[in-house]
Amino acid sequence: MPNRPVQVKHDENIAILSLNRPAARNCLNGEMLQLLLTTFASLKENAAVAGVLITGAGASFCAGADIDAMRTMTPFEAGRFSQLGQDVMFAIESLGKPVIAAVNGYALGGGFELALACDFIVASRSAVFAAPEIRLGIIPGFGGTQRLTRLVGKARAKELIFTGDRVEGEAALAMGLANRIYDDGALLEKAAALLKTICSRGMLSLKMAKEIIGAGADVDLKNACLMERDAFAICFATEDQKEGMTAFIEKRPAQFKGK
């Protein structure tokens, strides 16, 4: 279905999810958010999918939420829209599989928040990030005030949100918004290769690491380390741990089975 606003294709053991409203710079409306929610629920249950790459069709990753659809919302409607957006972001975080945002072009507003919900961001040199909501008389509503703060710190997050200023490719890398920068034409290929490498590791330990990093960010260091200790111990009840360590001793690639 070429006109479907969210498209998924499979490349070996990864799923490449494309936002597909290029004429509208892939802006998010209620239909897209609901479709993303059901898509991530399906990807979570699909055992053949080890990881997900999110990108945008055309020249933008996602230029934000659909302002035409938002401008006449009542406070009640705006609250429901915000909750739907937040539900999508939590669905990404709780997928139990690595999720990388491959940001090509604009990642603004809700699109920036979508990228922030991923495990990390890789970007093209022409990528542009911004939280411009303050210029519209509103604030980020899909979790951006919280995830951006956790990523770059309170002062830097306040600066970006208070000003609405844009951050481009190399500056995003220096600031810690993006983990890697690739040439525009190589972004998708490089991002897919990176995700495939990650997904060749032990999937149970990847899932465990993702959960512990996420949960530990919201508790004090001592309790977070206790969580890590218990998760570390649980890994030793898996076949993957035995295979990984045996393969290391035998100097061969590990053949993980996710068990």
Other CB atoms within a 10 A radius of the CB of residue 40 amount to 26
Q: Which of 113, 159, 239, 250 is catalytic?
A: 113
Q: Are 148 and 160 in contact (CB under 8 A)?
A: yes
Q: What CA dihedral angle connects 61, 65, 69 and 75, to 10 degrees?
A: 170
Examine the residue annotation and report whether 12 is marked as an active-site residue of this protein.
no
| Alpha-carbon distances of 116 from 16, 166, 183, rounded to whole Å | 17, 15, 21
Q: Which of 133, 170, 228, 243 is catalytic?
A: 133
Beta strand pairing call for 14-19 and 180-182: unpaired
| Alpha-carbon distances of 153 from 82, 90, 206, 220, rounded to whole Å | 23, 20, 25, 17
CA distance 154 to 215: 19
Examine the residue annotation and report whether 133 is marked as an active-site residue of this protein.
yes
Q: What CA dihedral angle connects 112, 116, 122 and 125, to 10 degrees?
A: 30
| Alpha-carbon distances of 252 from 26, 54, 248, rounded to whole Å | 44, 32, 6
End-to-end CA distance of the chain: 35
DSSP of 73-123:
--HHHHHHHHHHHHHHHHHHHTSSS-EEEEE-SEEETHHHHHHHHSSEEEE
Q: What positions carry a catalytic annotation?
A: 113, 133
